[in-house]
Structure formats: structure tokens, C-alpha cells
Structure 1
Amino acid sequence: MGFSQIIFSWTAIIPVIVLLYYFFRKKYTDQTVSSTLFWSEIMQETRVSPYLKHLQKNALLYLQLLALLLLVLALMNPYIKKSTIAGAQTIFIVDTSATMLAGKEQSTFDAHKKEMLSLVEQLDGRPVTLITTGSSPQAVLQQETSAKSIEKAIQDLHVTYETAQINKALDVAQAFVGDTPTSIYVFTDTLDKKQLPMEKDTVKWLVYGAEKNLTNVAITRFAATTDGKSTIALVQLQNDTNQQHKLTLTLQNSQGEVITEEQISLAGNEATTKTFKDLPLIDTLTANIDVEDNYAVDNRQSVVLQTATSNIVVDQSLHQLIQKGFQSINSHVKIVPSLQLADNQNATIVTNQTALLQKMARPIVLFGRDEVEKKEINGEVKITSDALFAFSDLNDIYVSAVYPAFDNYKTIATVGDEPFIQRSPQGDIVVLADIADTDWPLFPSFPLFLWSVEQQLSESVGSLGIFAPNEQRAVALSQGEWSVYSQDDEFLSTISNGLVTAPTQPGIYTARSNSEEKRLIVQLQATERVIAQGTSYTLGELQQNGKEEVSKASFVPWLILIILCLLVAEWEVQRRRGFTN
């Protein structure tokens, strides 16, 4: 605490003068009057309390002295130093990853929002830039000076569950610094000092981390598969604390019904793997652990059983452009002799052997037919609204010959009036032409078509696969309006041009059109299943004319308010005594 106007300390003589005035005023001798004797009993309480009597007698003096002393203090302008934001501008970098939801009484994210709101009071008109983390950092505010706008932007912040990728956000912040003295506040759970760019001496770094000693028990891995008769599930658990934890592990179906349950005890820093066999055949499976820890987001994980990707096996007799095309989009492609194709029951087969349509358990891909003759054809290629053509337009390609079509197969592309591409009721895809009889490989639509084929046959027809939170990915979908819905059938987003943006929160979701629907799973990334030790520190200093900036909070407004209250009290005392006295 200090005084910025100490020169006004001479005014302390004023209350001394008032005090002296009361010392030299006239004094009177108490005299008993008979007419007042009957008041003796009524005045007993005053006589019993001499201090109260003294206070009543000298109340006006004390009020005046106190008011004058406070006035002298106000003239000297007392203040206290308080923390302030140094620099000409301020940047807030806010970590919005899933681990920010960890915390004891409140989450790290909520604690940081409160801290930011308190810092807004210290801005003193400085511009603020607010940056959120993620794969694509967002500048929510840019050089904003309105306190209300800043507070609203902070209140509207929410966790996106993405991995922070803090280095990208730091690079964005550096673009706003330039040569301007800047205070950069980083609100995260943990950040190594080595990650901070310290090349500029015009930046002061203030890192706010998570509270220490947070506990976490997580599902680090969850997988499930089926042999067509039953389901096998594998759950991997990790205890990141030094203490033993008891938990309940349950496996549930899509309706939330418990399929199996097990009590587990994990020692400190122990990892364990549990395998469950002979589970009923279901399309989705969710693992959940009931445990007392400080991070609940990684206690639940879901899978779709049909999303396991298989290898692709290409007939060695097919054209090399087909072989190279599939190898460019999938690293698991094998080139196998024609006689050995039937031995790959668990793979996606690409061939021209029509007989394999009946032998293979999984749908296959035919390029041409080996049991019939082809015929010359001339005409324009036309496609239907099918998922295979979501990214490949075949209108400009030329086809000189096609094979006869299969009966009872759905035709999804034609050349003139003749079928060109068909789909069987079992999901087989048939291209009724040899690649040598077309110029299709010369167009970008050829590898895109192969990619769409691989997407549809390597994964379940009813699933779009597993996504990270907010991940954007192109998927093969039939033409039409597709939307994403939650398990509660709540509309979330629209899929445009086959580009899916995954929802924010982990869980099971549904992509739906007018006549079809597919499941998609959103899972936390591995880095968001680990709680690191919180770190908070400050690096660098900003100087203003050789001295660090200081903020002073003055007491004068409060002193004036108290003085006004005292003046009202003095007026009331004088009124009760009578102004003529």
C-alpha cells in the first residue's frame, strides 16, 4: 500500500482543530431538579451503561473526527498494487482438448475460464486475441478491445475433444506478435518449456496448467471381432496412479443392456488386458468402467464389429493398371495367381472369374467375365445415384465393348442401353468390360472408383468406420441428402459431397439418408487417454521505459462513500438533538 499525494498530509491539522474546539467549549455543572426525579428509574439503563452515555454525549464529535480523518486520507490518495497485464497487447491460447475436462472439484477447463474472466478486469483497454487449439487452430477474437465481447467469447468456449497440437496454436500466436510487446497466456494442462518459442524478447509467457495429483484409470484399447457365431472382445485398462483402484467393467450393446460384467482391482501403475469370448452376435459394443478418478471421458469406448478392414487380393491375370490402381490406395494388396484365389476367403477378391461369385463368402469385384464373349458397343456412359460414384464421374470415358449382363443384378451404370457396371444382391461389384477396351485409366475417376470399391467392400456396408473427434474424412456415400444423428436421434450435421465431419463427443452416431443409414464411431485419440502432471510457470519479462508496468487500485471511491455515510449520520444526530442547540 502507498500514497500518491503525500503532500496533502498537512490537512491532518483540521481534525486536531475540531478536537481542540471541543476541549475549550463551555462546561456546565449537573444540578438536580425536583421535577425530574420521576425520570430516575427510566434513566437507569443509561446510568448502568456509562460508555453508552459517553458515546451518546460525544457522538457528533466522533463522527466529525472520523469524517475529517477519512477526508485527509482521501486527499493523500491511498492505493494498493495489484497484478496487471504487461505489454501493449494480450494473447490467450486456450487448450480445448479432452484432457482439459479432468479435475477434482471443477475441471481444468472451467478453472481456466474463471481465470481468464478475472484477467479481463486488468486489460485496461489492451487488445486481446483469443486462439483455441486443435488440428486447425481458430482465432476466436482478433485485437478485440471491448470487455463485454471478450467476456462473451470466453463464456462461449467449449471443449472440442481434439488433440491440442499446441505447437500449431503457438505458431498462430507468433503471427500476431510482430514487434509489439505482448503477454501470451497459455491455458492448458501441461506444457514443456522447451516447446515455447523464445526467440523474441518482446514476449512474456504465462502458462497456466492443471492442478497436481489428478488420478486417472482409462480404457486404453478396446477391440471386438466376430467369427459369425459369437463375438470376441478385448479390453485394455491402465491405472496411471500410484494407488490401487477397484472398478467395475461392463460390456453393453447399443440399447445399453449389460452383456457381461466383471469386478477388477488394479494396482498402482498397472496395466491389464481382459478378453471376453462367446459373447452374443451384436453390431455395436460399448465398454464402460465405473471407477472413482478425476477424468471420466476415457472411461467409455465403443466399437462397430463390422468395421474391421480386410486385405485385398487381385487376380494376377488382370490388367496391370487394375493391380497398380489398388496398390496405390491400399498397402495390403496382394497379387495372387488365379488358381489360388479361392484360398483367400477372408479377403476382398478382384478377378474376372465368374465362378468365384458362388464360392466366396465375402463380396468380390469382377472386371470382365471369363465364361462369355463380349460384344462391341457404342454410346454414352451414364451413372445412377450410387455410393460408388460419389467421387467419380464416368460421363467422359469411352467403352468399346462390354460383356452380357447378369440377370437379377442391379445395374448402376450403362453404356448406351447396355449395362456397364452392376451390383449383386450379395454386394458383389461387376464391371462388364475389360480395361483394355476403355480409356477409363486415363481419367481421375478410375482411381477414385477403385477407392470407393475398396471402401465399400473392405468395411461393413452398414458402417463408415472410426473417427477422431471433429475429424473430416471423405467417404463413399450414395448421392442424396445425408445427415448425422446422435443415439437420441438428435440432428447434428449435414454431410456435403461425401465429406463427413465427425461429431465432437465420443460415442456412436448414425449417418442417415432417405433410404439408408450407416453407423460411425467417434473415439478419443490415444494421447487424450493420459493425464500428465500439471505445470504452471512464467517466462520472460516486459519493460516499459526501463521499469515494469505497475497497476494501482485506489481506495478514494470507497473513502468518499464512507464519508458521505458519516455526513448523513451527523445530520441525523444533530436533528435529534435539535439544530438550535
Structure 2
Amino acid sequence: MGISNWGMVWTLVMPIALIVYYLYRKKYRDQQVSSILYWQQVMKEMQASPYLKKLQHHALFYLQLAALLLLVFALLNPYFESDSLEGGEFIFVIDTSASMLAGTPSQLESQKELMKEMAEKAEGKPVTIINAGTTPEILASMEQSAVRLNRVINAIELGYESPELEKTLLFAETLANDDSAVIHIFTDSLDRTILSNKTGAAYVVHANNEKPSNISILQFGVAEGETTDRAIVQLFNDSAETVTGRLELAGDEFKEIADIELAPGEEQLIPFENLPKMEIWQAALDVNDEYILDNEAFAYINRPTGTVIIDNRLHGLVARGLDSLGIQVNTAATDQLTSFTESPLVTNQSDLVEEPVPVLLIGRDDESPVEATGSVETVDHPLFAYAPMEDVFVSQIYPGFDGFETVATVGGEPFIQLSPEGDIIVLADIQATDWPLSPSFPLFLWSAVDELSGSENYIGTFSPKEQRAIALASPSGEWEIFKGDEYQSSYIEGEGSFQAPGEPGIYRAVSGDETKNFIVQLNNEEKNLAAGQNFTAGTPVESENITQLSLIPVILLLILMLMLVEWEVYRRGTSFG
């Protein structure tokens, strides 16, 4: 403990003055005597009493003296010293992705408790809290109150979407006011290479050191047969023990159950044959593990149109790829394509993207290609669920469309895009790639035709909280979103992009008598759990790590309590003299 204001020590004259006042003040007492002869004896007894004996009978004196001494002590500004977190300001980045639900208790709850402990240790230094995600969200900005920080931390909930930590950290760096800032990252695991080239602020990673046991559904697909459908489920045991359980396949009122047993690290393909004709299916695992979100998967089987209209100017490999899928391919001259309005079009005519008919655009007729360098990188999208693109070589690409969503790039430049109306654009001629030599080429064509064929009762498959422009039209202009019978949210037509809910599952969009289904599917990257490591990158500029905790609020509270007691003593007229 220390004192920072010795200049106020002169105020000790106040309690001294109080003592002098009580010592020398006149005291009168009513004394009845039977004769004046007794006065002398009474005066002698009063004079014989010592001053200290008089003082000990005055409760008010002691209370006043104590209050004055405490006031003098407060004026000296006493304080306690305590160690605080290293750094001048702090930025907390919290990962709320689906994988943070793993563990018992969940990793998210464990990290929230750690955040609250560190907020206490910040000891009044400014703290900013950022919720990592596709769009980073500031939950608290330069907050110094531990009480308010605890309130914010307690309100943090699972967000399900990909954390996008690299992008979030770039955003966090812009909020650091000086070189003494420290960015604390609360996640399950973080690749060290993300922080390898960071300069300026220091980084402290708080990760989960123990890998949770997990059995997951990696892939789930349903294929159409002539009279019945079939499904296949890919399972993976990412734990150290053999796991037994059940796998249930359900659609409407139909259910089929298969017993499973997986050794540590084993993958299994579980087939289901002779399934009835249904559009939406759900696969669910009933096993004992520490992560339940990847124990469910959903699949939609679109009954695509049997015919695709292809521009006869396109390379013949495109028609062969479609024909190998069992899709009927009709070729048409370029000037006749606009007459087809029921079937998807495959062409390179850019102006057809603006038409209401669904289009798979391969190449562009209104731009010239440029040389492409680099590898193909894709985002998590249903187009690539069965068609990996990492090994595809592209030598030339066309410029991308402004305002279109990019789902695949080559060397950072757009390669595959989606229009707001759902058209699919491949910004390269097939002959400028080695794609037709890859098994992913016909699988991509199948996924593209499946997406373009669509369904009147199905909106699409979304990632958690994904925003996408979709075509919805109803007399009321408003759609209510339900999961089962539970209301989730509303969507107003024309007010921005449609945003999917965060929690994976099967949903319904309802407007009047019209109902459309859609699926929210967990991202594949959120199915891979890993044990992380705690580590530090960089060192903050030296700052004061000793915090002075003032005792003045406590002293003022004690003074107030003494004044209340003094008032009660005075009110009762209590005096022990």
C-alpha cells in the first residue's frame, strides 16, 4: 500500500482540534443539593475526574474523531498496487464458429471465462472485444469498466459461421491506437503461419490444448435411380477409441437405421438402397462424442430437367461432359438460344446473363482473355462439394463481372462467379484449361445443371449466416422463416440479400399459402477439430504493468457509515459521561 498525496497531511489539525474542543469545552450538569454546604464537596469531585475519564464516556466524540481521521486518510490518497496485463490496451478476438461448441464444457464457455478473468486483470486499461466472422463485429470499444465487459462477454453466443480469423486480425490491427496494444485471440486452434509476418501489435493466442473426441458425417449425398433413390454417407472417427452407434436416415415419415462401428481414424461409406422418391433427406448419428453439430447432415435431390440447351459454338468437350451424365443435350445456334425459356442454357454469350432463363456461361464473347498465373482456390460452396478444383490448370481467364459473387479464383483473380439471379459464370474457355482431363469436370457440370434447374419449392443450400441474392416473390412481399414449427426470422423482399439462419438444419420460408424449403449446412472446415497451442507472437512496447487501486471509495463508504451511526447516537441522546 502507498500514499500519493502527502501534501494533505496538514489536515491532521482537524482531528486535533476536535480533541482539544472536547477536552476544554465547558460541561454543565444539573445537580440538586439539600444545602449550600454540599457545593464545595460536589466541585471537588468534578475537578478530581481526569480528562481521559471524561472522554471515554462520549460516544459522539469517538465517532466524530474516527470520521475525521478517515477523511484525512482519504485526502492523502492511499492505494494498493496490483499487477495488470502486459500492454497498454487490449483487443480480444473471440472465435464463435461452430467448432467452439466442442468439449465439455464447450470451448466457447471456457474461453469466455478466461476472457472475464483477463478483463479483471486489465485493471482499467481500455479493452476492445471483436466477434470474429465473415463480417467482424465490435462488441465493446475501448471499454474500461470490468462490470460492463463482463456483461458483454456473458452475452456472446455461438455464431456457427466460419471465423475468418486472418481477415478479422487485419481488422483488429486497424483498431490498435499505439504499439503497446496486445491482441488476444480466443479460439480452438490457430495456424502459426497466420501471425508469421505480423508487425506492430503483439499477439497472444489462447487455444484448446486437448483435442475433443469426434465422430462426424463428412459427406452425405442422395442420387436418383429409375424407380428408387439411393444414398451414401461418409463417416469418420476422429478419436482415439473405437466407437459404436447408429446412423439414421430420414425423409418425411420414412426412416432407416444402420448400426455402425468405427475404429480410431477409420472412414466408412454407409450405403442406403431402395429409398422412396423424396426431395429432402437428413442423416443423423447417434454416438457418444464431444461435438454434436457434425452428427447431422442434409441433402436435397433435385429432379433436374432432362434437357440442356448448349450453344453449338462451344467446344465439343462441354457437350460430351454433359452427355456422360445421362443428361439430354440439344445444340442450338447462337441466335436461337433466346427462344428456349424452360431449359438451362450453356453458352459464352454474355448478354444472355441478363435474360430470365438460367445460364451456365463458359467464357465471354464481349471481352478478351488475359494470361492467368497461380492455382485455383475455391470457397465452401455446393458447386464444389463433389468437384474439387485444386489440381485444375488454367492458362487464360476473362475479366470478372462487377457485383457478382466470386466462388473460385486463379491467382487471386475471379474464375467462377455467381450472378445475383443465380447464373453460373466460368471465366475461361474450356480449351484454355486441362479441366476436361479431370474427373471433377463432369461432376462440376452435374452440380451446375442441378443448381440451375432449381425447384419451385426449394430455395437452395446455404452456409450458416450466408448472404445471397435469391428470387422470391409473393403477394405480401414478406416471408417468415421456420425451423420445424419454431419461428426464426422474417425476410422482406427487396431489402438487401437474403441471410440464412446460423444453426444448421432444414428450414421453411412461408408467405401466405406458399412454402419454400432450404437447407443450412455446416461448413466442412467446421467438421475438422484439432488441438491448438498457446503461443505469443511479438512483444508490446514497454508500458506500466503496475496498477494503483485507490482506497478512497472504500474510505468514503466507511465515513458514510460512521455518520449514520453518529446520527443515530445523537438522535437517541446517548452519552456515557
**TM band (smaller chain):** 0.5 to 0.7
State the Cα RMSD in Å. Answer: 5.5
Partner of 2:169: 170
Once the two structures are superposed, residues 550-581 of structure 1 have per-residue CA deviations (whole angstroms, 9 ceiling, x without a partner) of 12446676688789999999999xxxxx9768
In structure 2, the residue matched to 1:347 is 327
CA distance in 1, matches of 2:211, 2:321: 54
Deviation of the 1:265 alpha carbon: 2.5
Could you say which structure has the greater relative contact order, defined with CA pairs below 8 angstroms and 6 or more residues apart? 2
Pair 482,551 (structure 1): closer, same or farther in 2 beyond 3 Å: same
Measure how far apart 1:526 and its partner are.
1.0
So what's the TM-score if we normalise by structure 1? Answer: 0.59
Task: Indicate the SS of the match to 1:242.
Answer: coil
User: 1:104, 1:294 within 8 Å by CA — same for their partners in 2?
Assistant: yes
Map 1:314-325 onto structure 2 (within 5 A).
Answer: 314=309, 320=312, 323=314
Q: Which letter maps to 1:301?
A: A
Indicate the residue corresponding to 1:124 in structure 2: 124
The corresponding residue for 1:291 is 287
3-state SS, counterpart of residue 486 of structure 1: strand
Structure 2 counterpart of 1:160: 159
Instruction: Say whether 1:469 aligns with 2:464.
Output: yes
Corresponding residue for residue 80 of structure 2: 79
Alignment of 1:305 with 2:301, yes or no, is: yes
In structure 1, the residue matched to 2:245 is 247
Give distance in 1, aligned partners of 2:228 and 2:140: 53
Q: CA deviation at 1:73?
A: 11
What is the deviation of 1:263? 2.9
Whether 1:112 and 2:107 are equivalent positions in the alignment is: no
For the Cα contact (< 8 Å) 2:344–2:449, is it kept in 1? no
Match of 2:99 in 1: 99
5+ residue gaps in structure 2?
A: 9-66, 334-341, 347-354, 360-418, 427-447, 569-573
Measure the CA separation in 2 of the matches of 1:167 and 1:482.
36
**Aligned-partner Cα distance in 2 for 1:475–1:156:** 32
Q: Kindly tell me: are residues 215 and 72 of structure 1, through their superposed partners in 2, closer, same or farther at Cα, counting changes over 3 Å?
A: farther
CA contact (8 A) 1:84 1:551 kept: no
Partner of residue 523, structure 2: 525
For residues 192 and 249 of structure 1, the distance between their equivalents in structure 2, rounded to whole angstroms, comes to 33
CA deviations over 1:49-70 (Å, ceiling 9, x no partner): xxxxxxxxxxxxxxxxxx9xx9
How many angstroms does 1:447 deviate by?
Answer: 11
Contact 1:312 1:334 in 2 (8 A): no
**What residue is the counterpart of 2:274 in the other structure?**
278
Count of residue correspondences: 444
The equivalent of 1:534 in structure 2 is 532
Tell me: CA distance 1:549–1:102, structure 2 relative to 1, closer, same or farther (3 Å): same
Cα deviation, residue 466, structure 1: 1.9
SS of residue paired to 1:221: strand
The 8 Å contact of residues 246 and 287 in structure 2, kept in 1 or not, is answered as yes
Structure 1 equivalent of residue 210 of structure 2: 212
- Alpha-carbon shift at residue 523 of structure 1 (Å): 0.7
Counterpart Cα distance in 1 of 2:507 and 2:214: 26
Q: State the distance in 1 between where 2:72 and 2:285 align.
A: 66
Structure showing greater Rg = 1
Q: Percent identity?
A: 28
Query: 1:363-407 CA distances to partner (integer Å, 9 max, x unpaired)?
Result: 75699xxxxxxxxxxxxxxxxxx97499xxxxxxxxxxxxxxxxx
User: Which residue of the other structure, out of 488, 505, 511, is the alignment partner of 2:484?
Assistant: 488
Contact residue 486 and residue 492 of structure 1 kept, 8 A? no
- Following superposition, the deviation at residue 124 of structure 1 comes to 1.7
Cα distance per residue 1:98-145 (max 9 Å; x no partner): 11112212442464266247506735252x433322233334445556
**Correspondences of 1:24-423 after superposition (within 5 Å):** 79-84=80-85, 86-87=87-88, 89-109=89-109, 111-112=111-112, 115-116=115-116, 119=119, 122=122, 124=124, 126=126, 128-143=127-142, 150=149, 153-177=152-176, 179-196=178-195, 199-201=198-200, 203-210=201-208, 212-254=210-252, 257=253, 259-306=255-302, 313-314=308-309, 320=312, 323=314, 333-334=319-320, 346-347=326-327, 349-351=329-331, 364=343, 388=357
TM-score w.r.t. structure 2 length?
A: 0.59
